[in-house]
């Protein structure tokens, strides 16, 4: 009875790929931040407009918001609710149902460990345990310096390569713990 007790914890969320604009916004200084965010809201508005502000487009719009902002912060959800004329609780309910939507910012880099059956049979859980030990975080968490998020995926569909991982959108197969840790270090060094 340990981790399961927290209603807020999502188990092994699959993770959005981070967009270029997200990285950019992190680097931007405070002065340009406001402008930057206005531009992002505009992009979101465009998407809503393209869907004729129809409530049914909620998931499409949240995809766009996640891509644009990196995660779904409260103001963004409010903006979407207003734009699509939806109750706040409905928007929140949908945003938290789907594992690809994140209400918290993720790390600069992501390492996804595939936990599908084929990978499991070939030792993915041991691999994950080693990575958790190496990074000092649990699956679904981000290191305290915000550098890297460790995530689990249900199945990335490359079962022939089990066990497989995805570091910053690049798939690598037939992994050993040492190989993956090296790749993570390389990614962090960039």
Partner 1 sequence: MSVVTLKIDGVDVAIAAGSSVMQAAQEASVEIPRLCYLEGLSTVGSCRLCVVEIAGINKLLPACTTEVREGMDVTTQSPKLQDYRRMVLELLFGEGNHVCAICVANGNCELQDMAIAVGMDHSRFPYRFPDRKADLSHTQFGIDHNRCILCTRCVRVCDEIEGAHVWDVSQRGEFCHITSGLDQPWGDVDACTACGKCVDACPTGAIFRKNDTTGEKVGDREKLEFLVKARENREWVR
Partner 2 sequence: MDINELHAMAEQEQLRRKPHRIRYCTSAGCVSAGAIAVKDGLKAAVKDGKLDNEIEISSVGCMGLCARGPLVKVEPSEIFYENVTAEQAASVVSTCHGGATDAKVSDLEHPFWKLQQPIVLENRGRINPERIEEYVQVGGYQSLHKALTDMTPAEVVEEMKKSGLRGRGGGGYPTGLKWETVAKMPPGQKYVICNADEGDPGAFMDRSILESDPHRVLEGMAIAGYAVGATHGFVYTRAEYPLAIKHLQKAIKQAKKFEFLGSQIFGSGFDFKVDIRIGAGAFVCGEETALMHSIQGARGNPRPRPPYPAASGLWDCPTLINNVESFANVAPIVRNGGDWYASIGTEDSKGTKVFALTGKITNTGLIEVPMGTTLRQIVEEMGDGVPDGGVVKAVQTGGPSGGCVPADLLDTPVEYKSLLKLGAIMGSGGMIVMDEGTKMVEIARFYMEFCREETCGKCVPCRTGTVQLYELLDKISKGQGTAKDVEQLEKLSYMVKEMSLCGLGQTAPNPILSTLDYFKQEYLDLLQSPADLNGNKIEATANAPSA
| Interface positions with partner 1 (CB under 8 A) | 1, 4-11, 74, 77-78, 81, 87-93, 96-97
CB of 54: closest distance to partner 1 in angstroms? 17
Applying CB under 8 A, among 39, 43, 53, 118 the residue interacting with partner 2 is 118
| Binding region for partner 2 (CB under 8 A) out of 103-111, 137-145, 155-163, 181-189 | 155-163
Is residue 161 at the binding interface for partner 2, with CB under 8 A as the rule? yes
- With CB under 8 A as the rule, give the number of residues binding partner 2: 44
* Contacts for 189 with CB less than 8 Å, ≥ 6 apart: none
63 binding partner (options partner 1, partner 2, none; Cβ < 5 to 8 Å by kind): partner 2
User: Is the distance from CB of 156 to CB of 171 less than 8 angstroms?
Assistant: yes
Helix H or strand E segment including 70? none
CB of 123: closest distance to partner 2 in angstroms? 11
Helix H or strand E segment including 80? helix 74-84
Per-residue exposure over 42-80, b if at least 16 CB sit within 10 Å of its own CB, e if not: eebeebbeebeeeeebbeebbbbbbbbbbbbeeebbebb
CB of 182: closest distance to partner 2 in angstroms? 16
Is residue 167 at the binding interface for partner 2, with CB under 8 A as the rule? no
Q: How far apart are CA 56 and CA 59, in angstroms?
A: 8
Is residue 27 at the binding interface for partner 2, with CB under 8 A as the rule? no
Applying CB under 8 A, among 19, 28, 143, 158 the residue interacting with partner 2 is 158
Is residue 160 at the binding interface for partner 2, with CB under 8 A as the rule? yes
Helix H or strand E segment including 165? strand 165-167
């Amino acid at each position: 009875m340990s981790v399961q007790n927290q209603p807020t914890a999502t188990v092994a969320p699959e993770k959005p790929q981070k967009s270029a604009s997200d990285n950019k916004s992190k680097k931007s200084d405070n002065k340009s931040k406001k402008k930057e965010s206005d531009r992002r809201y505009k992009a979101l508005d465009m998407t809503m407009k393209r869907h004729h502000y129809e409530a049914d487009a909620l998931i499409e719009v949240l995809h766009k918001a996640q891509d644009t902002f990196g995660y779904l912060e409260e103001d963004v959800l409010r903006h979407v609710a207003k734009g699509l004329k939806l109750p706040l609780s409905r928007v929140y309910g949908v945003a938290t149902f789907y594992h690809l939507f994140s209400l918290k910012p993720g790390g600069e880099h992501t390492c996804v460990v595939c936990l599908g059956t084929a990978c499991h049979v070939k030792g993915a859980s041991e691999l994950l345990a080693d990575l958790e030990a190496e990074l000092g975080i649990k699956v679904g968490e981000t290191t305290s310096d915000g550098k890297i998020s460790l995530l689990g995926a249900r199945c990335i569909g490359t079962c022939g390569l089990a066990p497989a991982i995805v570091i910053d959108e690049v798939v690598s197969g037939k992994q050993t713990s040492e190989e993956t840790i090296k790749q993570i270090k390389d990614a962090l060094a960039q």
